[in-house]
Amino acid sequence: MTWAWRVLLWAGGAAGLWWLKGTLGLFVVNLLLVYVVVAVGLNVLMGFTGQISAGHAGFLAVGAYVAALVGQHAPGLGVGWALLAAGTVSAVLGVVIGLPALRLAGFYIAMATLAFGVVVSEAILQLDAWTGGADGMYVLAPTWFGVSLETDEQKFWLVLAVAVLTVVTASNLARSKVGRALTALRESGVAAECVGISTPFYRTLAFVVSAFYTGMAGALFAYVVSYISPDAFSIELSIDFVAMVILGGMGSIGGSILGAALLTVLDQYLAAFQDFRALIFGLAVVVCMIALPNGLQGLFRAAGARLRG
């Protein structure tokens, strides 16, 4: 991609966010950027190694509750440390889920991760002395070098910074030795093993990296919404995340960004349609899946190829 294209893309993204702020509000922009981090993180798992996770709302919840508890019990701690804590706890759980998932393939991984999402919800309900159970808990604003990030504007810059960092690191990962190893595993496990790529190590690594990103996103989610409860992290949300990655285009980071943006905007915009929201949303996703087998990035690629002749 040339520099000109890249500048144009970033400018287009910025313009899109500006438009969204005007129509649906800055809160939705923040939520969208949080979901971008999740979709890019999930893509590391799904797109790079082909393991479908239907339980990423679980990792999001873990990150969110860690950040909320850190804020409550260590209020002086900076936002960087809180994000790191949220990502790390989630990543450790990623190992716990990733190891047994090694013995599973395809849809069985999806089933195992789906169960993980349910278990997390149940655990939050049972640990109500810490989590507030079904009543949920309020989340204190994060602090950045002593400054409390209270407003949507302040939170926007935080979420934007993490989203950009996520996109940059994930793109670099894709182009590194690790990224190529993951892709090799997706295409053929046997061939990858033959050239000395350790399947258990890299498949678990993909889970860990993905869970880390999603855990961080969870912390951001908690800050943005300022209130969390198990109702926020339903199975539906996990499925939405999978849809974002598939709709964007498996394995493409640009695609994940587009997928997250499209589904979030659609979901929020349709809130005004009341009873018809779920129907229109479902139909739109089905149509996109049928019309765009390679996702949105496939569409852009095809358009680019045609432009170049």
Q: Is 40:254 a contact under the CB 8 Å cutoff?
A: no
Residue 115 sits in the site that holds another protein (CB under 8 A): no
Judged by CB, which is closer to another protein: 65, or 207?
Answer: 65
- 119-148 positions binding another protein, by CB under 8 A: 125, 128, 132-136, 138
| Stretch of residues binding another protein (CB under 8 A), selected from 42-50, 75-83, 163-171, 232-240 | 232-240
Residue 2 sits in the site that holds another protein (CB under 8 A): no
Residue 298 sits in the site that holds another protein (CB under 8 A): no
Residue 80 sits in the site that holds another protein (CB under 8 A): no
Q: Which of 1, 195, 275, 309 binds another protein (CB under 8 A)?
A: 275
Cβ atoms within 10 Å of 49's Cβ, excluding its own: 23
| Minimum CB–partner distance for residue 283 and another protein (Å) | 14
Judged by CB, which is closer to another protein: 172, or 226?
Answer: 226
Report the candidate in 109, 76, 88 with the shortest Cα–Cα distance to residue 209.
88
| Stretch of residues binding another protein (CB under 8 A), selected from 37-45, 80-88, 165-173, 217-225 | 217-225
Q: Is 32:162 a contact under the CB 8 Å cutoff?
A: no
Chain contacts with another protein (rule: CB under 8 A): 24-25, 27-28, 31, 125, 128, 132-136, 138, 152, 221, 224-229, 231-232, 234, 236-237, 267-268, 270-275, 277-278
